[in-house]
Amino acid sequence: MTPPPDVGAGPLAGVRVVDLTAMVMGPYCTQIMADMGADVVKIEPPAGDNTRRVSVGPEPGMSGVFVNVNRGKRSVVLDLRSDGGKDALRALIGRGDVFIHSMRAKAIAELGFGYGEVAAVNPSIVYTNCYGYGRRGRNADLTAYDDTIQAECGLPSVQRMLTGTAGYAGTVMADKVAGLTALYATMMALFHRERTGEGQEVEVAMFETMAAFMLVEHANGALFSPPLGPAAYPRAVTPDRKPYRTKDGHISALVYNDKQWNAFVGAVRPAWADDRFATLEQRARRIDAVYASLTKTFLERTTKEWLDLLRSLDIPAAPVRTLDELFDDPHLHDAEFFETVETPNGPVRFPGPPAWFSKTPGRVAGPAPRLGAHTAEILDETGTGRPR
């Protein structure tokens, strides 16, 4: 499979990815691969990936969500229920380095593209399964989406501790965290292959990924045997942990370690210097009272006054921004974070790769493909011709 002429020279230049993922988890993983120089061939059914239709876009089938997580990929339409479609996919597999899919185990096996069948075509391939639930558990065959996985991993329960009402995070967190996990797991398998020549099968499940993610800090006392306390990191779930209201708006600030606390107390509340909040350990034990006291204190000045003071003391503080304001953020502008790409529908300003490389920089790989835009081109490369 010959990469297209505009594939970048990022750290994954020369890596060829056969991508059978849809929605967000898998496409987010492979979008990063494309930005880092990989040639990502997106296999779509005749109706296309459902995310083509989930949000506003400049033309039918090119929603903003789809355009962002599928940028720089090449789209091939294959009917994998037909012999011709299966033959074309096998030809692509034979020339690929990575095969990644987001079907349930039973569905991919019924199509004839389980790990055994794919490895028989290309023994050195890295084969990544993106599942809702891992195959070793009893829920392996259940349908999963971001909302249901957030619920199962305890996130709405944590939100209830903060707000009194169970709720989801305002982003598709499970999809994106699992996508990042699929990315690093695939990269580890590729690193192993570089050293040994061996391909292997990789499995990343949204539920297991989010359970691990949530329990990083929230395992807390439940981590030990016998438990030393319930699961939940107290500072993260106190109801007063939220942006502070100021005289004229809101501010985010974290007066956390002893150096920061002493600087804050010296400038704002000298009377607190030797009280029950004096050390980090004391503050951790009384975190609700700490937040309640700070909440009252931040009402005394304007947002700008607090920002100027806290930043002069090297205490983390930030204004509370909207999503739209990110597109005009001065720091992101300085960092050249956004990249404008010309597309058939006009210029699109993409958020660029957040990782920086001194020798093999990534970049926004290019526009997202219209459905099936590269079918003839790629099948000509494999020599299979258009499937019947």
Total domains in the chain come to 2
pLDDT at 386: 67
Would the pLDDT of 347 be above 90?
yes
Q: Is residue 194 one of the residues assigned to a domain?
A: yes
pTM: 0.94
Same domain for 343 and 310:
no
Q: Is residue 10 one of the residues assigned to a domain?
A: no
Pick from 267, 294, 319: which residue ends a domain? 319
Q: Is residue 195 one of the residues assigned to a domain?
A: yes
333 secondary structure, DSSP code: H
Tell me the mean pLDDT in the region 236-265. Answer: 96
pLDDT at 147: 98
Domain coverage including residue 32: 16-213+336-382
Tell me the mean pLDDT in the region 279-299. Answer: 95
Q: What is the CATH number of the domain that holds 301?
A: 3.30.1540.10
* Contact status, residue 220 vs residue 232, Cβ threshold 8 Å: yes
Q: Is residue 235 one of the residues assigned to a domain?
A: no
Same domain for 340 and 260:
no
Would the pLDDT of 5 be above 80?
no
Identify the band that residue 275 occupies on the pLDDT scale cut at 50, 70 and 90.
confident
Identify the band that residue 6 occupies on the pLDDT scale cut at 50, 70 and 90.
very low
pLDDT at 274: 76
**pLDDT tens per residue across span 18-72:** 999 999 999 999 999 999 999 999 999 999 999 999 999 999 999 999 999 999 9
Same domain for 132 and 200:
yes
Does residue 353 have a cis peptide bond before it, meaning omega lies within 30 degrees of 0?
no
Q: How far is the first Cα of the chain from the last one, in angstroms, to the nearest whole number?
A: 21
Q: Is residue 115 one of the residues assigned to a domain?
A: yes
Q: Distance (Å, rounded) from C-alpha 324 to C-alpha 331?
A: 15
Same domain for 311 and 349:
no
Q: Is residue 100 one of the residues assigned to a domain?
A: yes
Strand partners, 201: 127
Same domain for 311 and 168:
no
76 vs 382 pLDDT, higher one: 76
**pLDDT tens per residue across span 103-124:** 999 999 999 999 999 999 999 9
Same domain for 262 and 306:
yes
Q: What is the CATH number of the domain that holds 109?
A: 3.40.50.10540
Identify the band that residue 387 occupies on the pLDDT scale cut at 50, 70 and 90.
low
- Where helices occur in 78-114 by DSSP H, the ranges are 83-94, 105-111
Pick from 271, 286, 319: which residue ends a domain? 319
pLDDT at 111: 98
Same domain for 200 and 128:
yes
**Residues 62-89: b if buried by 16+ CB within 10 A, e if exposed:** bbebbbbbbbbbbbbbbebeeebbbebb
Contacts of 86 (CB under 8 A, 6+ apart): 80, 111, 112, 113
Q: Is residue 228 one of the residues assigned to a domain?
A: no
Same domain for 358 and 288:
no
Q: Is residue 225 one of the residues assigned to a domain?
A: no
Rounded to an integer, what is the distance from CA 198 to the centroid of its chain? 28
Would the pLDDT of 8 be above 60?
no
Pick from 285, 319, 353: which residue ends a domain? 319
Question: Could you give the count of Cα atoms lying within 13 Å of 252 in the half-sphere of its Cβ?
Answer: 6
Same domain for 72 and 37:
yes
Same domain for 32 and 173:
yes
Same domain for 309 and 343:
no
Same domain for 194 and 91:
yes
